[in-house]
Amino acid sequence: MKFGFLKHYRKIKIEGVDPKKILNKCLKHKITLEDLRWKNDITYTVRLQGEDYKRLMQLAGHNCKLTVLKEGGAIPLLQRVKRNIAAVAGAFLLGTLLFYQSMFIAEIQVDGYRSLDEAEIRKTLQDAGVFEGARKQGDYGEAKELLYSTYDALTWVSFYEEGRLLHVDLAEGGDPMENKEEALDVPVDIVASQAGMVQKILPLQGNAKVQKGDYVNKGDLLISGRYKYHSTDYSRGDKEFTQYQHAHGKVMAKVPCHLEYYFEKTRRQKIETGSYFTGIAIHLGNFDFDSTKGWGGYEASVRTEHKLLDFVHLLPFSAHLVTVKEVTLSEKERTPEALQKTVKAALREYEKKSLREGERILDQEVTYTETPGLIKADVLLEVERDIGVEQKIDMKKEDAEREKK
């Protein structure tokens, strides 16, 4: 008898002291054996159907040793195909993951800056969509334009990718210290940038032309970069000469400032009802999933997120625990006390962003007026600030005017 191509069979080796006894048992229990080959008196090989192998093991017991040498037929073939399919599918998925992973930036390296702040550079890059975890852009033209427009000191910007590492190479024009030294050699006056009353003047270099209590207008001379002297060289005659220098110093003045703020008469309040539900938000590359979307049916709600995972080096991935709370909306008229607190907070923000070190608000006066639906706050400030700015001296022009005299 020949087993078919698809029929499951096993080729086994039988070892025992009484091989004929095993053969007789197979004939008695109708176990078909094929291709019987004797190796020696106690060892021979046979082929049998796959389902008969377990029956043969029971008949043999502990009297002989059975060893499977080979399997054939449909079942082993399908098992091998299954293993190969799993390997191919695993390799395909791994290749897909590696390819998808290569499309995102894992690390940004910024080099070449000197006077600029790296944190600010990275923030500018983020505004252009270039950050760790973002998708690669290729030419990065938008990021280059934003860097050039934001930082005047930059003369060259280059982006190039090395795997998932993005190199950002910068170059600034000239040595800042050399430029500073060259600027200090240029003769300048310090003039008023705006009108105000001088509170104090500190001429570090040059001659003060105003004193405390003087009122100055925009463009008035505050610290002069000219120094007049008579030469001790009598061969030059008893003539007055002018020496020019780079004037430097601070002129603090009290200047007026007018600000306007507008507020709605009523303030919206969000009051929690106690109803809420939670979910999870997942970001993987360009894929976003939020289990809270479409749930709840609240007319008004507030959403809070708590970070669970966030990494970019293997693959841009983040997971957040999301809580959505139901709220009711109500409107409440602003009280004078609440308005005053809001205006004070706005003035603190103005002082933080608009005033430099050493500058401060001296006095303030706030007037409130009502318009339909709005309240207007007119704020008149007295601010102590440095009003001095440099103005280059035209030495040739001044020398020519003196020659005419």
Give the pLDDT of residue 232.
65
Length of the chain equals: 405
Query: Which of the listed ranges 12-16, 54-58, 177-181, 275-279 does the model predict with the highest average pLDDT?
Result: 275-279
Model confidence pLDDT, tens digit, residues 143-158 = 999 999 898 888 889 9
Angle 137-143-148 from CA coordinates, rounded to 5°: 155
For the purposes of burial, counting CB atoms within 10 Å of the CB of 197, is it exposed (0-12), middle (13-18) or buried (19 or more)? middle
Q: Please compute, for residue 144, the number of CA atoms within 13 A of its CA located in the half-sphere on the CB side.
A: 14
Give the pLDDT of residue 82.
64
Confidence of residue 314 (pLDDT cuts 50, 70, 90): low
Query: Using CA atoms, how far apart are residues 349 and 345, in angstroms rounded to an integer?
Result: 6
End-to-end CA distance of the chain: 135
At 276, list the tokens.
């809420």
Query: Which of the listed ranges 36-50, 82-96, 363-377 does the model predict with the highest average pLDDT?
Result: 363-377
At 134, list the tokens.
């973002």
Task: Output phi, psi for 16, to 5 deg.
Answer: -175, 165
Judge whether residue 318 has pLDDT over 90.
no
Model confidence pLDDT, tens digit, residues 331-350 = 888 888 888 998 999 999 99
Confidence of residue 296 (pLDDT cuts 50, 70, 90): confident
Judge whether residue 17 has pLDDT over 60.
yes
Query: Using CA atoms, how far apart are residues 151 and 174, in angstroms rounded to an integer?
Result: 14
Confidence of residue 1 (pLDDT cuts 50, 70, 90): very low
At 39, list the tokens.
């190796």
Confidence of residue 177 (pLDDT cuts 50, 70, 90): very low
Judge whether residue 176 has pLDDT over 50.
no
Which has the minimum average pLDDT: 95-104, 164-173, 223-232? Answer: 95-104
Confidence of residue 295 (pLDDT cuts 50, 70, 90): confident
- Domains, in order of start, for the chain: 1-101 (3.30.70.1150), 107-176 (3.10.20.310), 194-251 (no CATH), 259-265+334-389 (no CATH), 266-333 (no CATH)
Task: Output phi, psi for 335, to 5 deg.
Answer: -85, 160
Judge whether residue 221 has pLDDT over 70.
yes
Look at 157 and 101; give whichever has higher pLDDT. Answer: 157
Contact status, residue 129 vs residue 142, Cβ threshold 8 Å: yes
Q: Is 176 helix (H, G, I), strand (E, B) or coil?
A: helix
Q: Is 328 helix (H, G, I), strand (E, B) or coil?
A: strand
For residues 89-96, give the mean pLDDT: 70
Q: Write the CA distances from 334 to 4, 22, 43, 291, integer angstroms.
A: 93, 103, 103, 38
Query: Using CA atoms, how far apart are residues 35 and 69, in angstroms rounded to an integer?
Result: 13
Confidence of residue 174 (pLDDT cuts 50, 70, 90): low
